[in-house]
Amino acid sequence: MKLLFIVLVILIIVNSIFALLVVNNYAYTTFITSDAFNCTRTLGFERVIIRGYFEAYDRDPGGAIDSNFLRNYNNAKNGGYTYIDVYMSPCTGRATCKAPLQQINDLTQFINANEMIIKTIWLWIDIDPDSGNWDLGPTKNRQILNEFHTAWKSTGLEFGIYTVCNFYLYI
């Protein structure tokens, strides 16, 4: 029953986030110029979500700060955005992955060192068979998700979790 409640709450959150993304937000994963950010803002987008951390399974095992994160953040500000969120695609499922706390610390230290003003940080649960992430079975996957949750709570920052409905089968 408790698990059902948790799943329902998460689904409500995911559906709310999806609605926000469709209505007035846009997520970025590549380098974006300030002109492009300005263009989306003038089209009515109010919030931008920039990738700050990625699993990096093929280049930097363990996870890494996105090389475009700081430039995209600065370009979003220069493009007129004041509501900036960040998402992380965590490394999970491989022996080379850093612990959830270390991944969270890497991202929050980068944000703080660069004096970034971030509204919400999102943990993106994305099942990618090529990377082997979230491929440890439901029990271990939930344990890892709980470790990320505990690590985020310890930061005092606003955070959330997002994914799509069919990925909950793995968690």
- Which residues of the chain, if any, have pLDDT below 70? 1-29, 56-61, 168
Check residue 165 and give its pLDDT: 78
Quote the pTM value.
0.80
Check residue 16 and give its pLDDT: 41
Beta-strand ranges (E) seen in 80-150 are 83-88, 121-124
Helices (H), 25-128: 34-42, 69-78, 100-113
Residue in 157, 120, 127 with CA at minimum distance from that of residue 145: 127
Check residue 70 and give its pLDDT: 97
- Domains contained in the chain, CATH given: 2-169 (3.20.20.80)
Map tokens 């080379």 to a residue.
96
